[in-house]
Structures are given as C-alpha cells and as structure tokens.
A and B are shown apart, each in its own frame.
Chain A
C-alpha cells in the first residue's frame, strides 16, 4: 500500500504530530515500505477466524463503585508545565 504525501499529512494530523513539509516525502516512503511488508497477511485465509480480544482467559474483574483514591491535587499538578490554583493550564481553545 503506497502512501502519498497528502495521506501522511492527514495521518500526522490525526495523530497530532507536526511533520515538516520537507520530511513528508521521506516519511511516506518509509511508511509505504512497512505497510507493503505487512501486506503479506492478506495471503492467510481468515473468514472463519475470530479476532483475538483477550490474551489470557480472564473475565474483566469488577469492583465496588466506591471512591478509594484522590484528594491530593498538588501531587497531581506537580509535573504540570503550566497551571496553578488547582488547574492544568492550556492555550485558549479558539472557536
């Protein structure tokens, strides 16, 4: 599956990763190469195979719907690049 520059630009947008224009061509080549290699999976018939949904045979365990953690906002905010007064601060979201 060959990817072109525009597709890479779109995927980079979806992934929220800035890619410089002059890097798009090279990246398209690399990703196309990898996807081309992956293409071989289509050789395997899988019409009657269920996709794996769990690696181990466990049922998701449930717990009491009770508050058991929290109440230390200072610790949570300690690594914040910007904030204060109990909030994480981000650039204004423009409508």
Chain B
C-alpha cells in the first residue's frame, strides 16, 4: 500500500472520490511529511492548522455532493501569490510582516476548486534567480544528491521551494511562477513536471509582479496528468487582469492520451550549445526517438535569433522590474527604515530591504530606461523580442510543437555559479525564448545525469495550445518511464 504522500495528485484525487481515504487523513500525512522535510528549508510559512480545517471542510463538502477539480488535495503555494490574512513575502525583507487583505485570483481559483493550503513556499527574492540562493529566508536544498557526494544542491529557481517539496513527496502539487524559466528549470533540477502556460492563460492579479509582460503562474507536479489537472483549476479569464485572455479553459486531462500520431515536432538547431554536456544532447536525441516511435515526424527547424534571447530578456525583465518594484518604498506596507526626510527613507528602506540580485536588476532596469539610453537598450530589446516571436511563428507554420532540453546542466551545488551573475543567467538559456514569445512550455523528467541527477526535456507549444503540448509531454513521460527517486523522500 503506497504511502498517501507518495501517490500522485491524480491517484489521491481518485482515492478520495472512491472513499478509500479522506482529505483529513491525506492532509495529516502531508503535514507530517512537510515537517520531516524541514531541513530543505522549502517553506517560508507553514499553515498546518488552516490545512487541517480546510481538509475537514472539504470532507464535509464531499459528503453533501460537491467536489471541485482539486477537492481535498494538499497543495503548496509559492510565496509570490497573495494569500489573504497570511504572510506573503516574495522572499524579500522589504515585505516584512506583509499580510495581504486580498487573495490572488489563481489561489482563489484553487480554493474554490477545493484545494487545501499546506503553506507558502520559499523562492528567489522577487522571483529573480535560478537557484533559490537569493531568498532573504535562506537557500532551499534539493532533495536529490550527487552519487557519492553529500554537498547540498540547489533545487533551481525561482520556484525552488515548490519544486523541492513536490520532489520530496511533501506536497501533491505546488504553484510557481515562470518569467524566464522559474517553473521549468527547477522542475528539471528536481526531477518533476513543471509548466508555464501561454501568457494570458492564468490571471496575474494578486501575484507579486516581477516582469509584467513575462510573468505567468503554473503548476509543479509529479506527473503530466497532475499538471493538466492543476492548470485547469488555476487558469481562466479574470476581468481584474486586463492581460488575461477570455479563452475558455479546455479539459486538458481529457485529451492527454490522444497521442502524437501525425504530429510534426520541431528540433531547433540553435539549441545545440557549445560546451553543453554530451549526456544532455544524448537525452534530447532519445526524446526525438521516443516521439518518432509514437508516430510523430520530427524535423530540424531554425529559430535564428535564439542566441540573443538571454541578453534581450536581461534588458526587458530588469526594466519592467525596476518599474514594478518602485512601489516598495516603506510607505504602505513592509519594511520601513526611518530617514530624516522622505527621499532618505525611500533610499534606506530600499537599500536595506532589497538583496544584491534584486538591486542589480533594478539598477540595470533603471539604466536601460533612462534618458539617452531608452532607444539603444529598451526599444532595441523590444525589437529583438518581435524577431524572436516571429521565429517561432514561422516555425509553427510547419510544426505542431518543439522539443528541446530544459536546462544546460543538472542541479549544481549551493555556492556554485555565484561569482558571476551571467553564469547564473545562462541556466535559463533554453527556457527564456518561449517566455519572450509568450508561448507555453513544459519540462518532463526524462533521464539521469552521470552523477545520478535528473535531466528534463522541454516541450513548447503554440499560443493557447497547451493541449497539444500536454499530449507530447505525456508520450515522453510514458516512454521515459522515469522512476528514479531523490535521496530524501518524506516519510521514509
């Protein structure tokens, strides 16, 4: 009999529907699991009492006949989503003590569909990072370890806490946000599934903003089916977010096993990187073979502006962040450091409230938007963005989906890549282009590195065609048969 916390979200859902277990029992197991996972430092705020209450209420609802999409299932929420009455920090000192008086639309959707809140997860500060090393609340540890090496590894970022918990079997699913890869990359590093929907699919209302033209909420789960279920619960048009699109949300689970026969999958030649570990190239070729075996055709495509995607992102995202983070000024909420007069208060509050990476990005953003530089940098980057999006548009005229590796390496050790910010930025080389084009992408665990660490394959889809993307991902998951487990599994 599988331990309750080692079921997938879909299996737990079905067990609840059959009456084989209750949300109270399932949640209690997950609370114990989360407690045992504390050394990972994956939670900023645990909400175990609330979880038990929500579970009890869910069981009562089920008795009277109601059951939402994620009814009774314990979920972890990235601490970037405002949760009414519950501390929300964005991993930053500048939001010390901030208790939102409102609920984000994405989490409101999950509670409406019966979800149970285990707690708020750790993240890189303001979602800026790919290692979860920049959080004011400390680093998160990956439950995976290299063979014969006990150095703690990073879970990836920025949704590091969410990824670590799901991989450690301490949550059935978790929410994350993905601006340049912050769901997909940690999913790959932690051997789980993570996806970013099309820009506009999920509402950004109540989600602490980093880069408003890039941010998207998405699920981190242990299977493709689980991600399909969670996305359906999270997504949908929201009149409070004018960038959320009034597209109906399909039942992604229903078409999951429709297969890839007759599909054409694009393999972008510019994603072959100099110095990329050969095992990643090998895994990518394996993915191509799996899709061909399942009846798809694959063809080489050219996304010719790929190499400019990362530098483009590091103009656009910091520029938008410098605008979005202007609101943190010590006036309305969070940290205030007293100053003699107003400007001094602003400068001291922000100087002490923001960490080094956030400061770096806000300053870059301020510079590229400043008088005399706006055209050379920001407008130039927005033009590159058009070219990158056009590359994808052209490719999608002859392919249905695109297959790439998710990350250029497996998880690295805490403390590595910290000397040069650009070394850290390169983690997102395969995920950033789809973010700039607003396209959906999913990472599926597909193999192990020579050191026994998970490696992911990424599938990119057409705008608003997450259904096709999920179908391809399901074929990969079935073919890969990835059943390796992290060194730490909660409850064992």
Asked if A41 and B200 sit within 8 Å, CB to CB, the answer is: no
B338 proximity list for chain A (CB < 8 A): 91
A69-95 at interface with B (beta carbon < 8 Å)? 72, 75-76, 78-82, 88, 90-94
Asked if B383 and A18 sit within 8 Å, CB to CB, the answer is: no
B332 interface hit (Cβ, 8 Å): yes
A-B contact pairs, 24 of them (CB 8 A): A11-B366, A31-B367, A38-B314, A40-B307, A41-B381, A46-B383, A46-B384, A51-B383, A52-B389, A55-B200, A56-B199, A56-B200, A56-B245, A56-B463, A58-B200, A72-B101, A76-B101, A80-B332, A80-B333, A81-B331, A90-B331, A91-B340, A91-B344, A93-B341
Asked if A79 and B334 sit within 8 Å, CB to CB, the answer is: yes
Contact of A56 among B243, B322, B329, B363 (CB under 8 A): B243
The main secondary structure of chain A at its interface with chain B is loop
B277 interface hit (Cβ, 8 Å): no
Contact of A17 among B351, B364, B386, B420 (CB under 8 A): B351
CB distance from B441 to the nearest CB of A (A): 14
A67 interface hit (Cβ, 8 Å): no
Taking beta carbons and an 8 Å cutoff, which residues of A are in contact with B?
3, 8, 11-19, 27, 30-31, 33-35, 37-38, 40-44, 46, 49-53, 55-56, 58, 60-61, 63, 72, 75-76, 78-82, 88, 90-94
Asked if B350 and A8 sit within 8 Å, CB to CB, the answer is: no
Given A31-B367, A46-B380, A79-B97, A38-B340 contact (CB < 8 Å): no
Chain A: CB-nearest residue to B389: A52
Contact of A16 among B245, B336, B347, B383 (CB under 8 A): B347
B339 proximity list for chain A (CB < 8 A): 91
Chain B: CB-nearest residue to A33: B422
| Interface residue tally on B, bucketed by range | 35 or more
Asked if A12 and B245 sit within 8 Å, CB to CB, the answer is: no
Given A18-B347, A80-B332, A12-B463 contact (CB < 8 Å): no
Complex alpha-carbon distance, A49 and B107, angstroms:
39
CB distance from A84 to the nearest CB of B (A): 14
Complex alpha-carbon distance, A55 and B197, angstroms:
13
Given A91-B339, A91-B341, A15-B379 contact (CB < 8 Å): no
Besides A11-B363, A58-B245, 14 other CB < 8 A contacts?
Answer: A11-B367, A12-B347, A16-B350, A18-B347, A27-B360, A31-B360, A34-B421, A38-B315, A40-B311, A41-B380, A52-B389, A55-B200, A56-B243, A90-B342
Given A52-B389, A91-B342, A31-B379 contact (CB < 8 Å): no
Chain B: CB-nearest residue to A48: B383
Asked if A49 and B101 sit within 8 Å, CB to CB, the answer is: no
A16 proximity list for chain B (CB < 8 A): 326, 329, 343, 346-347, 350
Given A15-B322, A31-B367, A51-B382 contact (CB < 8 Å): yes
Contact of B345 among A79, A88, A90 (CB under 8 A): A90
Asked if A88 and B308 sit within 8 Å, CB to CB, the answer is: no
Contact of A31 among B239, B330, B364, B463 (CB under 8 A): B364
Chain A: CB-nearest residue to B345: A91
Complex alpha-carbon distance, A37 and B311, angstroms:
7
Asked if A37 and B363 sit within 8 Å, CB to CB, the answer is: no
B332 proximity list for chain A (CB < 8 A): 79-80, 88
A3 proximity list for chain B (CB < 8 A): 367
CB distance from B412 to the nearest CB of A (A): 20
A12 proximity list for chain B (CB < 8 A): 347, 363
CB distance from B324 to the nearest CB of A (A): 12
Given A31-B367, A38-B311, A78-B101 contact (CB < 8 Å): yes
Given A34-B422, A44-B384, A18-B348 contact (CB < 8 Å): yes
B97 proximity list for chain A (CB < 8 A): 79
Asked if B377 and A38 sit within 8 Å, CB to CB, the answer is: yes
B413 interface hit (Cβ, 8 Å): no
A90 proximity list for chain B (CB < 8 A): 331, 342, 345
Leading 8 A-B pairs by shortest Cβ distance: A18-B351, A51-B382, A79-B333, A81-B336, A55-B438, A18-B347, A46-B383, A75-B101
Most-contacted residue by chain B among A15, A51, A72 (CB, 10 A): A15
B387 interface hit (Cβ, 8 Å): yes
Chain A: CB-nearest residue to B354: A17
CB distance from A38 to the nearest CB of B (A): 4
Complex alpha-carbon distance, A81 and B369, angstroms:
30
B370 interface hit (Cβ, 8 Å): yes
CB distance from B466 to the nearest CB of A (A): 14
Contact of B363 among A17, A18, A61, A88 (CB under 8 A): A17
Most-contacted residue by chain A among B243, B380, B383, B438 (CB, 10 A): B383
